Amino acid sequence: MRRTVSLLFAAIVTALPATARHSIKMPTVKSLQVMVNYNWQVQPVLQLHSSDVLNISFDELSHDVHRYVYWLEPCNPDWTPVEGLFDSDWLEGFNQLPIEDYEQSINTNVLYTHYSLQLPNDQCRMKLSGNYRLHVTDECCDEQEALVVELRVVEPLMNVGIAVTTNTDVDFNNSHQQISMTLKFNGIRVTNPAEQLQTFVMQNGREDNMKWQPKPTYTTNTSLSWEHCRELIFEAGNEYHKYEVLDPSHTTMGLAYVTWDEAERRYHAIPVPCEPRRSYIYDEDADGAFLLRNSDNFEAETTSEYVWVHYSLKPDRVYDNATVFIDGQWTTEDSDIYNMTYDPETATYQGKILQKLGYYNYQILMADLDGTTHRMPEEGSFYQTQNRYQALVYYKGTGQRTWQLVGYQEKVFRTQ
């Protein structure tokens, strides 16, 4: 008989996805994917007044056509809505438009309709840099919110440079990585950096352990720099687990086996169980990213099947005062879906998720009673781990009403 890690805890705190802030709000909506210029490994950051395009797609689990409408909301760096603006201040075009690109699935056991849109487009273009939240509502369901996408638009007015070292201020070639950073103002007048600038550093796009407003170690009239800054030390972690389900009829990379349940008329895919990782072994991953595709990648958006994926972790012990959950850039549905339960018969944590064919990265995290997330001790933390670091710099000049995203840089750290 299975039991939840901690029934009392589960009733009080629900683990939040650590990697993505996109979120699906309706149980019939699945497989939200957000890509810039069809590059599935980068963060949703567009350059203002460029040819960059944000591609957003999702499925609704039926062949009934829904009328989805999307609209944008400008936000501050902390994702609170900006107040006191007219749409014309930041938007060129219209701010409530239907999604007109959709297509029904073909020859799939799970019926779905695939929807997609692009930003900017001929009817909707952002005029200012900064953070934006895109809402999609379903007019067929009393305008209920179906999903939310969070994106950023950068106008690179300042130069940001970042570097990564394993010689940190807490250990040397052990379990941490430390960021150093430089910021050049490029002629922009910054008289009070503490009030006019906001600086963030992320690891693999995660916002749960993001570093906010680290104090610079050196300040001049034209630049800031962060050297030996303890606030910019990250746990190195470990490479993400990975697998791909490209054809549900046979086993592919990272899977133990695949089965067909005739009664359910569903495929079940079982990734290789996660074991405690005592030492570092390099295994190329995508740092939590994913790509929906099938074996021949022909019309994958509408011909790919949905399968039940069964996850398992062999822990060192039972964590009675924490929630154990699966995390990746694809974990955008209700967080309860990704929570794992402990099975005493097999002495494993287990999870079961309905997913579309594709390549997936994931890690297993735990959330404390206060909601703070941590890596599982079984996953290990090793200085050699490949990670992607993102630095974001926001600027608000005297008299300006919005925070501009004026600097963005991504650095891929490798020791191999």
Residue 403: CATH number of its domain: 2.60.40.10
Task: Count the domains in the chain.
Answer: 3
Distance CA 98, CA 82 (A): 24
For residue 236, which of 362, 370, 415 has the smallest C-alpha distance? 415
Considering the domain architecture, whether residues 270 and 231 belong to the same structural domain is answered as no
Which pLDDT belongs to residue 13? 38
Which pLDDT belongs to residue 298? 82
pLDDT digits (tens, 9 = 90+) for 309-366: 999 999 999 999 899 999 999 999 999 999 999 999 999 999 999 999 999 999 999 9
Considering the domain architecture, whether residues 98 and 212 belong to the same structural domain is answered as no
Q: How many CB atoms lie within 10 A of CB 75?
A: 19
Considering the domain architecture, whether residues 147 and 46 belong to the same structural domain is answered as yes
401 in any annotated domain: yes
State the DSSP code for 27.
T
Which pLDDT belongs to residue 5? 34
8 in any annotated domain: no
State the DSSP code for 32.
E
- Asked if residue 356 lies in contact with residue 31, where contact means CB atoms within 8 angstroms, the answer is yes
Residue 36: CATH number of its domain: 2.60.40
Enter the tokens of residue 247: 């054809």
For residue 363, which of 342, 378, 348, 343 has the smallest C-alpha distance? 378
Enter the tokens of residue 206: 């995660």
Considering the domain architecture, whether residues 87 and 104 belong to the same structural domain is answered as yes
Enter the tokens of residue 352: 């079961």
- Among 103, 128, 154, which residue terminates a domain? 154
Considering the domain architecture, whether residues 274 and 367 belong to the same structural domain is answered as yes
Mean of pLDDT values over 212-221: 96
Considering the domain architecture, whether residues 328 and 408 belong to the same structural domain is answered as no
Considering the domain architecture, whether residues 95 and 174 belong to the same structural domain is answered as no
Higher-scoring residue by pLDDT: 150, 5: 150
15 in any annotated domain: no
5 in any annotated domain: no
Respond yes or no on whether the N-terminal peptide bond of residue 120 is cis (omega within 30° of 0). yes
Distance CA 117, CA 73 (A): 17
Considering the domain architecture, whether residues 163 and 229 belong to the same structural domain is answered as yes
Considering the domain architecture, whether residues 246 and 375 belong to the same structural domain is answered as yes
Considering the domain architecture, whether residues 356 and 262 belong to the same structural domain is answered as yes
Considering the domain architecture, whether residues 120 and 134 belong to the same structural domain is answered as yes
Considering the domain architecture, whether residues 166 and 285 belong to the same structural domain is answered as no
- Among 126, 154, 182, which residue terminates a domain? 154
Local confidence band at 9 (pLDDT 50, 70, 90 cut-offs) = very low
325 in any annotated domain: yes
pLDDT at 14 over 70: no
Mean of pLDDT values over 132-157: 96
Mean of pLDDT values over 120-137: 97
Encoded amino acid at 108, one letter: T
Distance CA 26, CA 137 (A): 10
- Asked if residue 236 lies in contact with residue 387, where contact means CB atoms within 8 angstroms, the answer is yes
Distance CA 273, CA 270 (A): 8
Distance CA 305, CA 261 (A): 14
- Among 89, 121, 154, which residue terminates a domain? 154
12 in any annotated domain: no
pLDDT mean across residues, the chain: 93
What pTM was computed for the model? 0.92
Coil, strand or helix at 91: strand
pLDDT at 3 over 50: no
pLDDT at 258 over 70: yes
For residue 344, the enclosing domain spans 241-379
1 in any annotated domain: no
pLDDT at 165 over 50: yes
3 in any annotated domain: no
